[in-house]
Structure 1
Amino acid sequence: MACPMCGGTGRVLVRYPGGEEWMACLECLEREAEEAWEDEDEVERLLESGELF
């Protein structure tokens, strides 16, 4: 089974605490983690500036 994001074969299985499983290659997982981190930083900036809520 190939990575669902890029079609690559170098993939890993990630198991979440709720039992959900997700499979992707390391490059795609790293990219998703970086994007999530950037989104978290943006939300924090909006909260601190008062633009959010």
Structure 2
Amino acid sequence: MANDPQKLTRQERLAAKLRENLRRRKAQTRALQENTAGEAGDSPPATLPKDSAKS
């Protein structure tokens, strides 16, 4: 009964969507790290460069 979408409160629906999003992002990160590690050996995962020249 708790899994019935019509019976869930707004907060429960949002919590479920957040968990789903987190799982998807973690899977994407793991895939990216696997691809990067396979190409570059023991180098750290690819990240965006930090912009140190801010105006």
TMscore range, shorter length: 0.5 to 0.7
What is the total number of aligned residue pairs between the two structures? Answer: 34
Q: State percent identity of aligned pairs.
A: 0
TM-score calculated relative to the size of structure 1: 0.53
Letter of the 1:22 counterpart: P
Structure 1 or 2, whichever has the larger Rg, is: 2
User: What RMSD over aligned residues (CA atoms) do the two structures have, in Å?
Assistant: 2.4
Greater share of strand residues, 1 or 2? 1
Structure 1: stretches of 5+ with no match in the other structure: 6-20
Task: Say if 2:20 is the partner of 1:22.
Answer: no
Runs of 4+ aligned residues of structure 1 deviating over 4 Å after TM superposition are: none
SS at 2:5's partner residue? strand
1:2-49 deviations in Å (ceiling 9; x for gaps): x726xxxxxxxxxxxxxxx72211010000000001101100000001
TM-score calculated relative to the size of structure 2: 0.51
